[in-house]
A and B are shown apart, each in its own frame.
Chain A
Amino acid sequence: MPTVSVQRDLLFQALGRSYTDEEFNDLCFEFGLELDEVTSEKDIISKEKGEGRAEGASETVLYKIDVPANRYDLLCLEGLVRGLQVFKERINLPRYEKIIPAKDEGQKLIITEETVKIRPHAVAAVLRNITFTKERYDSFIDLQEKLHQNICRRRALVAIGTHDLDTISGPFTFTAKTPAEIKFKPLNQSQEYTASQIMDLYRTDSHLRQYLHLIEDKPRYPVIFDSNGVVLSMPPIINGDHSKISLKTRNVFIECTGTDMTKAKIVLDIIVAMFSEYCEKQFTVEAVEVVCPNGKTHIYPELAYRKDKVKPELINKKLGISETPSNLAKLLTRMCLSSHVTGNGNNIEIEIPPTRADVIHACDIVEDAAIAYGYNNIQMVIPKTYTIANQLPLNKLTELLRLDLAAAGFTEALTFALCSTEDIADKLGMDISATNAVHIANPKTAEFQVARTTLLPGLLKTVAANRKMPLPLKLFEISDIVVKDPTKDVGARNYRHLCALYYNKSPGFEIIHGLLDRVMQLLEVPPNKENGYTIKATEGSAFFPGRCAEIFARGQSVGKLGVLHPDVITKFELTMPCSALEINIEPFM
């Protein structure tokens, strides 16, 4: 969930009234936002670096608001205010207009075919006669960052560049050149660098280094320059210093390049829709002509208004409410989906603005109607569906066994399913390749390298964490283990295992054996070879030699029991003898 940080007072000023924190919290709740935190820059620095460093930092109250991941139109103060104002019926949703300049008067962006292999798509637009203040400028930069992190998938899909149009002159060219051919002064630097030098320069920059890999190994890097060869930007890494925007900038040239055309268009629409508020002719955007390598031209931004028709009965039926068509139209209009009743009053025509790219199906419209109606105003009913309840047989068996094992004096443990490779291999005297375990590609710590193939390490670690408890420690767990299985559609499967251990001054093999007998008695498996269970002496790497047995039920091996080897006990940081039992209970279904 993206979090947008806004200055509380600016927010209230734009909303036209003040709220208490609680009132604003309620408003957010209704709309689908979450007021995550009320803080200030001073508080943030205090928490991160200590009170001393926070001296002199701003105490302006900041609201941190959590925004749903699919609402790109709420990622900045301007968008939030607009959304909330329309929701509260204080304003009408502004109409975003694109102005197409007369031929040869507008800006042009020419894409060459070298970009096809690395970053094929580009769109652009111009914001004319815009007025920036410090807050608006910060918001402008913030929105770009939020979009980069969110829909742009960290600049991989789309990268945004914004430039002071008065410092550059079109037509602009978007092409790809070899690193040696690209040389310019990057944003906020004092000298020119070639592209390869720029890669090295930003390798240590905590923010930019994560984007270098997107183009680093390619033979050609994307670059945009103007008719005088001045470099605007090298997407997705950095803009040029020459065209950087300042508070005095009046005309902005915005370019979005990327590998996903749909998203590039959405991103451009959002930026211009949000900030055209500050243009002299409010909510107007000057279009740019983009020429593709094949000669075709397109006009951007699209700023398309889509029309859709939804039957009022559908909305009422899906929500369990009964509102008149005109009321429903009013509700939708409050959600920035301007609507009116058409036909004989039996249809609603909806206009979806370019800022609501998240509306892609009638169900999205239904949800917005519900939000405006107020979820908590909907009457709750129970479905009239008649079904018969059922428990999964394996889980039912597990539940029954758990009760009886507890009755036998054993305590249940719930342990992690993920562990380190040593836990299931080295510490049990085995090689990891023999375990047939499922390995994780990106563990954050060594504790989560593999999925467990046996419940034993989990229980032993539990004992180690509870050394101070009175002896004997009798633990059990009935839970899933994971192994590779090429016959399953995903290549791995779970098995339900039962594991019990006895930890005391003496190993207690007879107690564990007795538990096995009790479990078999409960499972109605008689102690004979033909149609029941037997145990046979065997060797096990985790077990004491001569004190280990394999358990066979109806001819099939289901597990082992025995006294644990002292090496195993020591490796799990334990000091007393221990006997254990582990079986697969699935054959007993």
Chain B
Amino acid sequence: FTEMPTDNFVESSFWNFDALFQPQQHPARDQHDTFFLRDPAEAPELPTNYMTRVKKVHSQGGYGSQGYKYEWKVEEARKNLLRTHTTSASARALYHLACQGKFTPVKYFSIDRVFRNESLDATHLAEFHQVEGVVADRGLTLGHLMGTLQQFFTKLGISKLRFKPAYNPYTEPSMEIFSYHEGLKKWVEVGNSGVFRP
């Protein structure tokens, strides 16, 4: 796996949400869960061609999808925030891969800080780290995703895993990964995953 560049805590809503098919009226984009920035409040630059395609998929559909059928606004996409997940870095990495012309299979990873506008308590911090991995190739299946996750977690000493259907705006199918915690004697969620939507 190759490490992705993640050295930007500040991200635009475009890369953090829109490019990942999260609709603009989604509750997570509210003030409650996301740290929006006062200064710099807006991203000066967005990739124009790509943005046009993203706008179309949200508002009219495309690539086999019906889309969300709402009016997509570029002002929303320009809003700067502190990234809520490192998947925004994955989006950028995949975009660069697409720009290189000829497709080559890749495996990417990153481990870096993310920010959520939450009150601190025993199980929540406003900033924490995420481990992210992406595999892009022809002919990948859900079974491959499960196999990769099984191997990854086994290396961390967690081998008893169960997968559960979940929902992410940008993946379908999506899975939550649960592992059996011997100490707590119950199944605990250890990760989230999915196959990116076409």
Q: Which residues of A are at the interface with B, using a C-beta cutoff of 8 A?
A: 29, 31-32, 34, 68-71, 149-150, 153, 156-157, 260, 262-263, 317-321, 360-364, 366-367, 370-371, 375-376, 378-383, 385-392, 394-395, 416-418, 438-444, 448, 451, 480, 482, 484, 486, 488-494, 496
Contact = CB atoms under 8 A, between A and B. Distances in A.
Contacts of A392: 3-5
B10 A320 contact: no
A67 to B, nearest CB: 9
A282 B70 CA distance: 33
B182 interface: no
Given A319-B143, A378-B146, A486-B44, A389 B8 contact: no
A376 B95 CA distance: 32
A361 B40 contact: no
A439 B64 contact: no
Interface in B130-179: 135, 137, 139-144, 146-148, 150-151, 162-167, 169, 172-175, 178
Nearest to B67: A360
A439 B41 CA distance: 9
Interface in B59-105: 61, 63-70, 80, 82, 105
A383 B173 CA distance: 17
A93 to B, nearest CB: 19
B123 interface: no
Contact of B10 (A381, A444, A482): A482
Contacts of A482: 9-10
Interface in B21-62: 25, 27, 31, 35-46, 61
15 contacts: A70-B169, A153-B27, A260-B70, A361-B197, A370-B142, A370-B173, A371-B173, A379-B143, A418-B126, A438-B10, A441-B31, A442-B31, A444-B126, A489-B46, A491-B43
B142 A362 contact: no
Contact of A387 (B31, B66, B107): B107
Contacts of B121: none
Nearest to B12: A490
Given A157-B25, A375-B146, A494-B10, 19 more contacts: A69-B27, A317-B139, A360-B65, A361-B65, A370-B173, A382-B151, A383-B144, A387-B106, A418-B126, A438-B40, A439-B38, A444-B118, A444-B119, A448-B126, A488-B8, A490-B44, A491-B80, A492-B9, A494-B8
Contact of A363 (B5, B41, B197): B197
B89 to A, nearest CB: 11
B197 A440 contact: no
A240 B137 CA distance: 58
Contacts of A493: 7-8, 10
B194 to A, nearest CB: 9
Tier of interface size on chain B: 35 or more
Contacts of B141: 317-320, 381
B142 A490 contact: no
Contacts of B117: 442-444
Residue among B4, B5, B45, B167 facing the most chain A CB atoms (10 A cut-off): B167
A361 B167 contact: no
A320 B195 CA distance: 13
Contacts of A370: 142, 165, 173
Contacts of A391: 3
Top 3 closest A-B pairs, CB basis?
Answer: A320-B143, A32-B165, A320-B141
Contacts of A443: 35, 117
B166 A360 contact: no
B18 interface: no
Nearest to B10: A492
Nearest to A28: B164
A157 B169 CA distance: 19
Nearest to A69: B167
A385 B107 contact: yes
A319 B39 CA distance: 45
Contact of B163 (A69, A317, A362, A376): A376
Nearest to A394: B7
Contacts of A318: 141-142, 195
Residue among A34, A71, A360, A394 facing the most chain B CB atoms (10 A cut-off): A360
Contacts of A34: 164
Contacts of B126: 416, 418, 444, 448
Nearest to B189: A34
A378 B143 contact: yes
Given A31-B165, A489-B44, A491-B42, A367 B8 contact: no
Contacts of A68: 165-167
A441 B42 CA distance: 12
Contacts of B163: 375-376
B5 to A, nearest CB: 6
B135 A385 contact: yes
A486 B115 CA distance: 22
A490 B165 contact: no
A361 B7 contact: no
Contacts of A360: 61, 65-68
A516 to B, nearest CB: 23
B27 A150 contact: yes
Nearest to B24: A153
Contact of B172 (A71, A363, A484, A489): A363
Nearest to B174: A367
Contact of A418 (B39, B127, B151, B165): B127
Contacts of A319: 141-143, 173
Contacts of A388: 2
Nearest to A482: B9
Given A32-B165, A69-B167, A387-B105, A484 B119 contact: no
Contacts of A156: 25
Given A317-B139, A417-B127, A418-B115, A367 B165 contact: yes
Contacts of A383: 135, 137, 140, 144, 147-148
A347 to B, nearest CB: 16
B28 to A, nearest CB: 9
A444 B80 CA distance: 17
Contact of A70 (B144, B164, B167): B167
Contacts of A31: 165
Nearest to A449: B38
A27 B35 CA distance: 36
Contacts of B165: 31-32, 68, 367, 370-371, 375
